């Protein structure tokens, strides 16, 4: 009889699962048991996004830059503004003057100094407390006019310089040099004359500012009664106007042309009273008599000497 062939040991032993395969299977089972994270709905995330955006806007406007609305036409045509209209909105750089000093030609926004605002009424706010609350919040984020008396003008002279108006060509003069001011706007082209004012030496730490719309701007010439009281402390400057951001048709940079860069030396002649203007003529007439008398005596002596030689 033929004896059966015995099976191999591998066939006799039961199959054992591969450790690697077992590990993978376990991991897969764990993954299947984990529930996928549920994403927050849009309406839950929206308030978070709004709060983050407001915080970033607050930080940006308080420390870096802020948007201001031009309320009047005193800076035409560089900046457009008028009562009751949609004036230019400009981005004001608030960090420039932390590293540099204000310079002639810079268009700056500044807090009204005490002499400028001492006789003005407070800016209007709604009597409704709810509306007033949102106005205050909006002003912080640039969504409403600020509840403060701020101004925008161009720096004409800085501390230690003497400014006055005008020379024979009706130009403002700083330290004896007539300024180059191509930005001046004349509302009446037939009346391109600006009012004169006496020399003012700007105190150190102050600047002298004027509007580009030269005949429709109450600036250092008239604020606080003019003179030294019209100068603006550098510490009151909020920042430098950089860009017109709205409306889109007005997009562009704000000119900072330095009027002193091409200033021309001039000889300022102040008009003297009529009696003083007649003094030189009177002195000339009085001095003419002795000169004429002396000339005649000298001539007679010369003729006598000539006759004796003959």
Active-site annotation, residues: 74, 153
Residues 27, 34: Cα–Cα separation, whole Å:
11
Phi, psi for 110 (deg, rounded to 5): -140, 155
Spell out a b/e string for 213-225, using b for 16 or more CB atoms within 10 Å of the CB, else e.
Answer: bbebbebbbebbe
Token pair belonging to 283: 């002195």
Token pair belonging to 27: 């991991």
Using the structure block, give the residue that is written with the tokens 């606080």: 224
Using the structure block, give the residue that is written with the tokens 């994270």: 37
SS3 letters across 53-106: HHHHHHHHHHHHEEEEECCCCCCCCCCCCCCCCCCCEEEEECCHHHCCCCCCCC
SS percent in the chain: helix, strand, coil, step 5:
35, 20, 45
Token pair belonging to 204: 């150190």
């Amino acid at each position: 009889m033929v004896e059966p062939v015995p099976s191999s040991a591998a066939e006799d032993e039961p199959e054992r699962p591969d450790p690697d395969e077992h590990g993978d299977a376990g991991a897969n089972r764990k993954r299947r048991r984990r529930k996928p994270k549920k994403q927050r709905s849009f309406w839950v995330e929206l308030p978070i996004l709004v709060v983050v955006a407001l915080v970033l806007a607050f930080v940006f406007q308080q420390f870096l830059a802020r948007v201001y609305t031009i309320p009047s036409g005193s800076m035409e045509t560089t900046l457009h503004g008028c009562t009751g209209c949609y004036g230019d909105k400009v981005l004001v750089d608030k960090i420039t003057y932390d590293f540099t000093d204000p310079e002639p030609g810079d268009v700056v926004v500044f807090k009204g100094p005490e002499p400028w605002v001492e006789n003005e009424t407070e800016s209007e706010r709604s009597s409704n407390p709810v509306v007033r609350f949102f106005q205050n919040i909006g002003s912080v984020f640039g969504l409403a006019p600020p509840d403060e008396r701020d101004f925008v003008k161009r720096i004409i002279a800085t501390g230690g310089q003497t400014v006055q108006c005008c020379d024979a060509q009706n130009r403002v003069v700083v330290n004896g040099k007539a300024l180059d001011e191509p930005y001046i706007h004349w509302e009446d082209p037939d009346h391109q004359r600006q009012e004169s004012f006496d020399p003012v030496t700007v105190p150190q730490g102050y600047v002298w500012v004027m509007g580009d719309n030269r005949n429709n701007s109450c600036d250092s010439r008239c604020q606080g009664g003019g003179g030294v009281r019209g100068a603006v402390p550098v510490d009151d400057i909020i920042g430098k106007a950089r860009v017109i951001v709205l409306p889109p048709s007005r997009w562009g940079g704000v000119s900072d042309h330095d009027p002193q860069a091409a200033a021309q030396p001039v000889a300022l002649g102040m008009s003297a009273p009529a009696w003083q203007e007649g003094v030189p003529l009177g002195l000339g007439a009085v001095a003419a008599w002795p000169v004429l008398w002396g000339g005649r005596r000298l001539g007679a002596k010369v003729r006598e000497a000539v006759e004796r030689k003959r």
